[in-house]
Structure 1
C-alpha cells in the first residue's frame, strides 16, 4: 500500500469531531453516533450528547438496535484506544456503513463540544471486558 492509498483508506474509515459536527448539523438523520466504550460506569458517566450507548462487549448481541440505513459513527476513549476499531470490524462484517470518530471522547471534550452526564437510572454495567 502506498501513502496515497493509506490516506484515502484512513479518510474513508474515520471522521473528525469537527467534520462530524458539521455533517450531522447539515443532515441529522444520516448518522447514528454510538459510544462503544467498555469499562467501569463511573468513568463512562460522561458521553457525547445524543450518542447511543452500546458497549463494544455487548455489540454483537445488540445489532438489531442499529439501523442499516444510517452511517454509524463509533467512538471510544482517545487516539490510543482501539475499542471503536474492534466494534467497527463487527459492524462492517454485518453490512453496516461505519466510521470511527477520531480522538474519541477525549478529543470531543477538548473541543468543548456538547456532552451529557448519565444519571443513576441509566447506570452502565461495571465489568470492563477490555
Structure 2
C-alpha cells in the first residue's frame, strides 16, 4: 500500500469529531453513535451526547440493537485505545457500515463538544481491553 492508498483508506474508515458534529446536524437520521468503551464504570459515566452505549465486552449480545440501515460511528477512549477499531472490524465483518470517531471521547471533550451522563447499566469488568 502506498501513501495515497493509506490516506484514502484512513479517511474512508474514520471521521473527525468536527466532521461528525457537522454531518450529524445536517442529517441526524443517518448516524448511530456507539460508545464501546470497557473499563471502570465510574470512568465511563460521561458519554458523547446522544450516544448509544454498548461496551465492547457486551457487543455480541446486543447486535440486534444496532441498526444496519445507518452509518455506525464507534468511539472509545482516545487515540491510544484500539477498542473502537476492534469493534469497527467486527461490525464490518457482520454487514454494518462503520467509521471510527478519531480521538475518541478524549478529543470530543477537549473540543468542549456536548456530553451527557450515561445511564447504561452493565456488568463490564474493570479491564479496558485496549
Q: Corresponding residue for 1:104?
A: 104
Q: Deviations over 1:56-91 (max 9, x none)?
A: 111112111000000000000000000000100110
1:23-42 residue pairs with structure 2 within 5 A? 23-42=23-42
Aligned positions, number: 128
Q: Corresponding residue for 2:56?
A: 56
Q: Corresponding residue for 1:128?
A: 126
SS in 1 for 2:112: coil
**Contact 2:58 2:124 (C-alpha < 8 Å) held by counterparts:** no
RMSD: 1.1
Deviation at 1:128, TM superposition (A): 3.3
SS in 1 for 2:67: coil
Partner Cα separation in structure 1 for residue 62 and residue 13 of structure 2: 22
Q: Corresponding residue for 1:78?
A: 78
What's the TM-score once normalised by structure 2's chain length? 0.94
Segments of structure 1 that go 5 or more residues without pairing to the other structure are: none
SS in 1 for 2:62: helix
Residues 17 and 83 of structure 1, relative CA distance in 2, 3 Å threshold: same
**Contact 2:41 2:126 (C-alpha < 8 Å) held by counterparts:** no
Which segments of structure 1 move beyond 4 Å, counting only runs of 4 or more?
none
Q: Corresponding residue for 1:7?
A: 7
